[in-house]
């Protein structure tokens, strides 16, 4: 076959290659579904950056990492490709499948001529067509060094990324941040000026790299959604990104109906339900790593404060004991996070009322000012803070301000555990037992509830952390004041008032004794 340089790759061309040369290699092969054709359309677009979030089991690696990459090489659209996965071992497997077809597939040789692999190692292959034209394909793992990567004075002009993140790493914020920095600082700059990036995977976390490439909430006016697909028509976005799910909530729409019918998904979901892992079903097949039925905090437990209770808290605050807790973001490492303050009122029965949440990106001086505002407004019995943060950063300045203002905050430093989930267990138990009420009409509430419902797979967990401190605090202290204690306090106040007017504490006149 003569050189195919200059061919414009299209979904039909890839489909033809699959049907002619590859389909007989596939296990239980079926006709390519519409979603594969959509993915090829996205990959063949001129946009330099394409990201596709697809459910497990839908042959996304076969359609893109295998078939699309082969098509780019065979039709000479790209000559220096790099396959990147979570581990080098995984990317080596992808490369191995491609090399096998290049070297052994007679149908490919009949169409494109004999192909010789003049260099053939696990991670690096250089091939040559009959006319002497060469190509190279590399296999790399996440976070490997890529600086200075060149071949024949060229950088890779095609980077195919397949499942770059894994379940364990994505649950750790430091590792998520490290991955993002490597992706932006090392992987993307390694391509040529005209290079393409095609990224396919499954959403494992709401702050995962792939999720961050998907259309954002502020793109809503550009975003179209169906029960099985979400994408953006805003061509100005740096990434052309689409997110798919295997089926709609009522199974009326199926992403690959010829292979997975409604009964299949009902049965599969029931299997996950039986194992108590519906969150994994939601993650693997719906590209949503959150499942409401298996959430850490359940939506039905978020009960509003009644109007009567709100009035009581406002008009008779002395019947309640107030507690405040904070989660500071004051280090350089935490500069993108929020500082959060949560205030609760607790009555004599132990019912906890979340009455105020303050969440701001701010500096140390502003944090101290917010603490004094809370102290003045609520007079909390205890103000729980993380021991390390208060001792190393805010402590000296805060103590000076307390002396200067003659206002003293009853700080309750607590040493955190590294496990955020364990730290939140106490509040979770209180919530599930119906022991918490929320001020749902407040401006802060919607964002607060949303974060708690997404925990522990949300981008931010600062509001969860501050609330968790409250739960731990209440485990160790007395609850709200009883009616008897309130009466005793009233008596002491009246007694003190009488003394201030020159009377005995028992109400007798100092002169007559009566």
Q: Left if phi > 0, otherwise alpha if psi is -120 to 50, otherwise beta: which for 217?
A: alpha
Q: Region 125-131: what's the mean pLDDT?
A: 96
∠ CA 172-175-178, nearest 5°, is 150
Strand blocks (E) in 362-427 = 382-386, 411-414
Helix (H) or strand (E) holding 404: helix 395-405
Q: How confident is the model at residue 503 (pLDDT cuts 50, 70, 90)?
A: very low
Q: Rounded to an integer, what distance in angstroms lies between the CA atom of residue 31 and that of residue 34?
A: 9
Residue 218 sits at φ, ψ, to 5 deg, of -75, -5
pLDDT tens per residue, range 341-365: 999 999 999 999 999 999 998 888 8
> Cβ distance 18 to 39 under 8 Å?
no
Of 501, 284, 495, 474, give the one whose Cα is nearest residue 384.
474
Of 353, 331, 352, 330, give the one whose Cα is nearest residue 340.
330
Q: How confident is the model at residue 3 (pLDDT cuts 50, 70, 90)?
A: very low
In this predicted structure, what is the pLDDT of residue 504? 41
pLDDT tens per residue, range 84-123: 999 999 999 999 999 999 999 999 999 999 999 999 999 9
Strand blocks (E) in 280-351 = 303-304, 321-327, 339-346
- 382-386, strands of its sheet edge to edge: 303-304, 436-438, 352-360, 339-346, 321-327, 382-386, 411-414
**pLDDT: is 498 or 192 the higher one?**
192
Which residues have CB under 8 Å from 300's CB, separation 6+? Answer: none
Of 49, 64, 54, 52, give the one whose Cα is nearest residue 97.
64
The answer to whether residue 218 scores a pLDDT higher than 70 is no
pTM above 0.75, yes or no: no
Q: Rounded to an integer, what distance in angstroms lies between the CA atom of residue 50 and that of residue 200?
A: 8
pLDDT tens per residue, range 244-267: 999 998 999 999 999 999 999 999
Helix (H) or strand (E) holding 50: strand 49-53
In this predicted structure, what is the pLDDT of residue 216? 76
The answer to whether residue 486 scores a pLDDT higher than 70 is no
Q: How far is CA 300 from the centre of its chain?
A: 22
Task: Please report how many Cα atoms fall inside a 13 Å half-sphere around the Cα of residue 348, on the Cβ side.
Answer: 9
**What average pLDDT does the structure give for the chain?**
88
In this predicted structure, what is the pLDDT of residue 1? 38
Q: Rounded to an integer, what distance in angstroms lies between the CA atom of residue 335 and that of residue 228?
A: 36
Q: Rounded to an integer, what distance in angstroms lies between the CA atom of residue 171 and that of residue 205?
A: 7
Q: Region 30-37: what's the mean pLDDT?
A: 88
Q: Rounded to an integer, what distance in angstroms lies between the CA atom of residue 361 and that of residue 344?
A: 22
For each of the domains in the chain, give its residue range(s) and CATH number, in order of start.
11-293 (3.40.50.300), 299-481 (3.30.420.240)
The answer to whether residue 476 scores a pLDDT higher than 90 is no
In this predicted structure, what is the pLDDT of residue 336? 61
- 124-128, strands of its sheet edge to edge: 116-120, 124-128, 134-141, 80-85, 158-162, 196-201, 49-53, 240-244, 229-232, 223-226
Name beta bridge partners: 321.
346
Q: Which of 153-167, 224-238, 260-274 has the lowest mean pLDDT?
A: 224-238
Instruction: Taking the CA atoms of 279, 282, 284 and 288 in sequence, report the sign of the dihedral they define.
Output: negative
∠ CA 23-29-31, nearest 5°, is 80
In this predicted structure, what is the pLDDT of residue 505? 44
Q: Which two tokens stand for residue 220?
A: 């809503």
In this predicted structure, what is the pLDDT of residue 160? 98
Q: Region 355-377: what's the mean pLDDT?
A: 93
Q: Rounded to an integer, what distance in angstroms lies between the CA atom of residue 224 and that of residue 255?
A: 17
**pLDDT: is 14 or 451 the higher one?**
14
């Amino acid at each position: 076959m003569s050189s195919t340089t200059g061919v414009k790759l299209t979904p039909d061309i890839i489909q033809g290659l699959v049907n002619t040369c590859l389909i007989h290699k596939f296990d239980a092969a079926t006709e390519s579904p519409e979603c594969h054709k959509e993915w090829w359309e996205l990959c063949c677009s001129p946009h330099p950056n394409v990201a596709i979030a697809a459910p497990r089991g839908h042959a996304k690696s076969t359609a893109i990492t295998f078939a699309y990459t082969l098509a780019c090489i065979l039709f000479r659209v790209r000559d220096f490709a790099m396959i990147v996965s979570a581990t080098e071992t995984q990317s080596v497997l992808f490369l191995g499948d491609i090399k096998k077809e290049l070297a052994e597939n007679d149908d490919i040789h009949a169409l494109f001529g004999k192909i010789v692999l003049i260099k053939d190692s696990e991670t690096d292959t250089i091939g040559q067509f009959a006319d002497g034209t060469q190509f190279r394909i590399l296999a790399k793992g996440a976070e490997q060094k890529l600086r200075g990567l060149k071949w024949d004075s060229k950088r890779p002009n095609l980077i195919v990324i397949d499942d770059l993140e894994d379940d364990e790493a994505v649950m750790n914020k430091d590792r998520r941040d490290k991955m993002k920095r490597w992706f932006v600082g090392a992987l993307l700059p390694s391509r040529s000026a005209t290079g393409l990036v095609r990224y396919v995977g499954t959403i494992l976390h709401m702050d995962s790299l792939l999720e961050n490439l998907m259309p954002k909430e502020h793109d809503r006016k550009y975003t179209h959604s169906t029960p099985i697909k979400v994408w953006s028509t805003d061509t100005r976005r740096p990434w052309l990104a689409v997110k798919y799910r295997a089926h709609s909530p009522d199974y009326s729409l199926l992403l690959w109906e010829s292979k997975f019918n409604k009964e299949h998904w009902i049965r599969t979901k029931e299997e996950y339900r039986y194992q108590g892992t519906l969150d994994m079903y939601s993650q693997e097949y719906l590209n949503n790593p959150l499942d409401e039925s298996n959430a850490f905090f359940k939506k039905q437990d978020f009960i509003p404060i009644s109007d009567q209770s709100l009035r009581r808290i406002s008009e008779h605050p002395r019947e309640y004991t107030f507690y405040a807790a904070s989660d500071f973001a004051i280090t350089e490492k935490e500069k993108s996070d929020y500082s959060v303050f949560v205030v609760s009122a607790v009555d004599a029965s132990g019912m906890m009322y979340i009455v105020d949440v303050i969440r701001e990106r701010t500096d140390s001086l502003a944090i101290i000012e917010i603490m004094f505002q809370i102290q003045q407004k609520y007079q909390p019995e205890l103000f729980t803070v993380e021991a390390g943060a208060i001792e190393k950063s805010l402590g000296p300045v805060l103590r000076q301000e307390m002396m200067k203002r003659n206002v003293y905050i009853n700080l309750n430093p607590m040493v955190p555990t590294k496990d955020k989930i364990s730290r939140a267990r106490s509040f979770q138990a209180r919530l599930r037992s119906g022991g918490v009420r929320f001020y749902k009409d407040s401006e802060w509430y919607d964002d607060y509830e949303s974060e708690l419902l997404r925990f522990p797979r949300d981008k931010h967990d600062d509001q969860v952390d501050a609330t968790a401190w409250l739960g731990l605090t209440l485990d160790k202290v007395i609850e709200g004041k009883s009616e008897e204690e309130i009466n005793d306090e009233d008596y002491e106040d009246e007694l003190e008032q009488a003394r201030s007017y020159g009377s005995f504490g028992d109400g007798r006149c100092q002169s007559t004794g009566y």
